[in-house]
Amino acid sequence: MTNIYVGNLSFDVTDASLQEAFAAFGAVDKANVVTDRMTGRSRGFGFVEMGNDEEAKAAIEGLNGSDLGGRTITVNLAKPREDRPRGGGGGGGGGRRW
56 with 47: CB under 8 angstroms? no
Domains of the chain: 7-11+13-77 (3.30.70.330)
CA distance 24 to 4: 15
30's enclosing H/E stretch is strand 28-35
Closest CA to 71 of 26, 4, 6: 6
Amino acid at 46: G
Pairing of strands 2-7, 28-35: unpaired
Sign of the C-alpha dihedral computed for residues 48, 54, 55 and 61 taken in this order? positive
For the stretch 14-30, pLDDT in tens is 999 999 999 999 999 99
Mean residue pLDDT across the chain: 90
CA distance 46 to 34: 5
pTM of the predicted protein model: 0.81
For the stretch 1-58, pLDDT in tens is 999 999 999 999 999 999 999 999 999 999 999 999 999 999 999 999 999 999 999 9
Provide the pLDDT for residue 54: 97
